[in-house]
Amino acid sequence: MANEPSGTPAKITGEPLFTRVLSDLKQHRPQLAERIAANSSVLERVRDYEKQTALVTKQVSLAAAKGEDIEKLALLDPITELYNHRAFVKELKAELARAKRYKHPASLVLLSVDGYDDLASQFGPLTAEAIQKIVSHAIRSALREVDVASKYNQWQYAVILPQTNAAGASLVGERMRLRVGNQAINHNGQNFSVTVSVGVATFPDHADEYDILIACAIEALETALMRGGDRVISV
């Protein structure tokens, strides 16, 4: 995507985001533009979900919280204690700004629990929450201190990997996949394990803006799911 001069406001048009993005991509990344054009709903979903999460009313009232509790509620998912979606977007934008400034790579990894809806339906909401906590713990255990783990939505997780290229991010994704799969889950008399599918996208190889990077990671993740899940796919 072409860079605008410093201090120049971005042009505002009436066209949809994905249309503008694809127009820019056709000039600089024609092959990627063709792939995303075939499924332009990916970019629409990225933006729609971001808008939805900004409007969601928290289950725990901020009015009843004070000081650090307010900050915690504003930034963290209450079940997993990972960053929530809103904080994730903020951190991703900040990391890409640093990556552009210092000219180093940065990667985004999206993980989805395979068959989460079926698991939640079979075992109930309490076990579903237990799965989220166990998966988030396995993800954290595979990361460095500088990496940022977040809850992307109910059954998906996002990890920002500073100064990490696509090959390195795929290795991290594989490490997380193995740790989740090797974690035994014992809850409410049920004994089982879960698997995750993983999608990887990297700045600047695959995208140079945060929303396109998310769309690329979603594309890779959905490819992993279509191939049967329990695998890592990079764009």
Task: State yes or no: pLDDT of 171 exceeds 90.
Answer: yes
Per DSSP bridges, beta strands 232-234 and 196-203 are: parallel
Q: Looking at the domain assignment, is residue 40 inside a domain?
A: no
> Could you tell me the pLDDT band of residue 123, with boundaries at 50, 70 and 90?
confident
Task: Give the pLDDT confidence score for residue 148 in this predicted structure.
Answer: 97
Structural domain of 159: 74-234
| Burial of 232: CB neighbours in 10 Å, binned 0-12, 13-18, 19+ | buried
Does residue 106 lie within any of the structural domains? yes
pLDDT at 121 over 50: yes
Higher pLDDT, 231 or 5: 231
78 in a structural domain: yes
Q: Which residues of 166-196 are buried (b: 16+ CB within 10 A; e: fewer)?
A: beebbebbebbbebbeeeebebeeeeeebbb
- For residue 75, give both structure tokens: 């930034």
- What SS3 class is residue 168? helix
Look at residue 109 in the predicted model and tell me its pLDDT. Answer: 98
Residue 39 clears pLDDT 50, i.e. is over it: yes
Taking all residues of the chain, what is their mean pLDDT, rounded to a whole number?
82
Residue 30 lies in a domain: no
Residue 29 makes CB contacts below 8 A (sequence gap 6+) with: none
Residue 105: predicted pLDDT = 98
Q: What is the DSSP letter of 185?
A: E
Secondary structure of residue 112 in the 3-state scheme: strand
Does 122 or 148 have the greater pLDDT score? 148
Q: Count of domains in the chain?
A: 1
**Residue 13 in this model has a pLDDT that exceeds 50:** no
Stretch 32-50: mean pLDDT, rounded?
64
Query: For residue 11, what pLDDT band results from cuts at 50, 70 and 90?
Result: very low
Give a yes or no: residue 62 inside a domain: no
Q: What is the mean pLDDT of residues 39-65?
A: 55
Output the pTM of the full model. Answer: 0.73
**Structural domain contains residue 80:** yes
Q: Give the model's confidence band at 187: pLDDT under 50 very low, under 70 low, under 90 confident, else very high.
A: confident
Max Cα distance, the chain (Å): 61
Percentage of residues in the chain with pLDDT exceeding 70? 69
Residue 218 counted as domain residue: yes
| Range 127-144 average pLDDT | 94
Residue 5 domain-assigned (yes or no): no
CATH of the domain at 157: 3.30.70.270
Kindly state the DSSP code that residue 200 receives in the 8-state scheme.
E
